[in-house]
Chain A
Amino acid sequence: MIRLFGVSKGYPSRGPVLRRLDLHVARGEYLIICGASGAGKTTLMRIVTAAERPDAGQVMVAGRNLAKLKRSAIPYLRRNIGVIFQDFKLLGGSTVTENVALPLRICGIHGRTLRDRVEEVLELVGLEDKPFARCEELSGGEQQRVALARALASEPVILLADEPTGNLDPEATAQVLGLLDLARDRGLTVVLATHDPQVIGAGQADRVLEMTEGKLETRALRSGVWLERPEEPDTRGEREMSLIL
């Protein structure tokens, strides 16, 4: 579902952030990427959503090579990707329903279909009793659940979560992680970036990768099953890249 081949990215102020990074995330996989702040997790997420272009390497998302994707086609690619953030990024002054309905409107869905879909996702995240509440009036955990409902509303195939529990208490964190597990169970490919050890231990991820110095190393094959030492570098990406290019 997501493939990165030899991806490098740097900034003039920070120097290299990603160094010839390879990554393969299979359809329906739940992947956690952990690492300290500034390790490059967010940069990786932004590259996957085509918000940034890599300096080198190739990126394939949902079967599309981002380097060959026209600028006008990027919005349609993004409709396959749901994203949630540490700071929720909800529309200020809007209600829960307005926020959740936004991606549906962007996709051209309206009327009864829109209302039904909003009700469905609000029920999924446990906010069916607060459809008309202003987002500012909600707790942090509830706001993140609104963001999750919004990310899931247009039925994406990939869910990216960038430090989604960074601003939440343990109870709200557990709720959000439970919802990410649910999303994976419904067939979504989930990529969660975090620096929080509690999240790494609690989630039901298939793999845990650690990002250090712009490279990814496998730390666990399942959450809680830690490897004694880093696994051999994942060279699948290089092999597949040679087949594709």
Chain B
Amino acid sequence: MFTFGYHVKRALVGVRSRPWAQVLTLGSVALAMVLVGSVLLIAQNLSRLTDDWGSGATVAVDLAEAVPPADVARIRQALKETPGVRRVTWVSPAQAKSRLLRGLGPDARLVAEVDESFLPASFEVVLGGDRSTVLAAQRRMTRMAKVVPGVESVRTVETWFHRLGRLVTGIRMAGLGLGLLVLFACGYIIMSTVRLRFVDRRQELQIMRLMGATERFIRTPFLMEGALLGLVGAALATGMLYGLFLLLGSRIHSLFGTSVSVSKLGFLPLSQVAYGLGVGALCGLLGSWFATRSGADA
């Protein structure tokens, strides 16, 4: 424990010994980690927004012609009992035509003469809940078209959900790949800084070896210094990322108004921040381990 305190003191002396080199190292590590953090933050918020869009999505269940009222009631009940369904509304052919005419606006006269029986009766289903619940509800209703008599077709927004899901997964994978690259770069930067200090103190280390210092005793302060650089770099990155998030969050709000629910945008959860700090420290530790590994010329 006492030796640990001594090593911590030596590590702090080391950090202070070349302040500009340390500032450059910390700056580089922090910027690199901000890059990865940004990608993760974007992926996370896209995921939240898709969840939000899924809640409130509407599915149209078109019925076949001349479905007996008993079957219509049964279909309505089945839809209501589906998890994730908030509201089921009957849309008659007359209501459907009225909506179509409203939707076409000035071109409504083109279909004004069409008989309303040409349009199918349908149920308009409003979904709610999280993304997975909404997706499951859509899949279940799509199956209904195949197995439930009287259901002609089901129009869902599942495809869009899948596209968005793939986009989020893609961004996450890119973030992971970028993260690995950046971790390697951070480790290399810290390795170079610690190596510089290791070589700087070559004479001192040789004296320590002559006095009987083990390699572990010699390397421990450098390993601590590397871990500290990684940890502080990650902490700085977190601070910078949070600042960027606050700044851009308000910009997005002013650009998109209420079409994007800014209240749904959120910063990385504490567990991910803690994970990031740990990864930063580990990265520094590995970098300094390579800088001072056995056989290093010091």
Contact residues in A for B3 (Cβ distance below 8 Å): 105, 108, 110
Within 8 A of A (CB), among B1-15: 2-3, 6
Known contacts A89-B203, A91-B204, A103 near B211 by CB under 8 Å = yes
Q: How far is the CB of A46 from chain B (nearest CB, A)?
A: 9
A106 at the interface (CB under 8 A from B): yes
* A106/B212 in contact, CB under 8 A: yes
The interface size bin for chain B is 10 to 19
- The answer to whether A154 touches B211 (Cβ under 8 A) is yes
Nearest CB in chain A to that of B10: its residue: A105
Would B204 and A76 count as touching, CB distance under 8 A?
Answer: no
Rounded to whole Å, the gap between the CB of A147 and the closest CB of chain B is: 10
- CB-based contact A107/B208 at 8 Å: no
A106 to B212, CA, bound (A): 7
B210: interface (CB < 8 Å): yes
Interface: B78 (CB within 8 A):
no
Cα(A154)–Cα(B211), bound, Å: 9
In the bound assembly, the distance between CA atoms of A77 and B214 in angstroms comes to 11
Chain A residues whose CB sits within 8 angstroms of the CB of B207 once the complex forms: 89, 91
B6 & A105 in contact (Cβ 8 Å cutoff): yes
* Given A89-B203, A91-B204, A106-B217: A75 and B209 interface contact (C-beta under 8 Å): yes
Q: Which of A49, A92, A110 contacts B210 (CB 8 A)?
A: A49
A186 to chain B, nearest CB (A): 19
In the assembled complex, the Cα of A75 lies from the Cα of B217 at a distance in Å of: 11
Which chain B positions have C-beta within 8 A of A105?
A: 3, 6
A interface residue count range (under 10 / 10 to 19 / 20 to 34 / 35 or more)? 20 to 34
The B206-226 residues at the A interface (CB cut-off 8 A) are: 207-214, 217
CA distance A83 to B203 in the complex (A): 15
Return chain B residues, CB-CB under 8 Å to A222. Answer: none
B208 touches A106 (CB 8 A): yes
A102 adjacent to chain B (CB < 8 Å): yes
Residue pair B204, A75 in contact (C-beta under 8 Å): no
A51 on interface, CB distance cutoff 8 Å: yes
Contact A79–B210 (Cβ < 8 Å):
no
Q: Are B210 and A78 in contact (CB under 8 A)?
A: yes
A60 to B138, CA, bound (A): 84
* Structural contact, A106 and B2, CB atoms closer than 8 A: no
The reply to whether B213 and A106 form a contact with Cβ atoms under 8 Å apart is yes
Residues of chain B within 8 A (CB-CB) of A111 are 2
A83 to B204, CA, bound (A): 14
Task: Name the residue of chain B whose CB is nearest to the CB of A111.
Answer: B2
A84 to nearest B CB, angstroms?
A: 10
**Distance, CA A92 to CA B2, complexed state (A):** 23
16 A-B residue pairings within 8 Å (CB atoms): A75-B214, A76-B212, A77-B212, A78-B210, A78-B212, A79-B212, A83-B210, A91-B204, A91-B207, A102-B208, A103-B211, A103-B212, A105-B3, A106-B214, A106-B217, A107-B212
Extra pairs beyond A78-B212, A89-B207 (13, CB < 8 Å): A75-B212, A76-B212, A78-B210, A79-B212, A83-B210, A83-B211, A102-B211, A105-B6, A106-B212, A106-B217, A110-B2, A110-B6, A154-B211
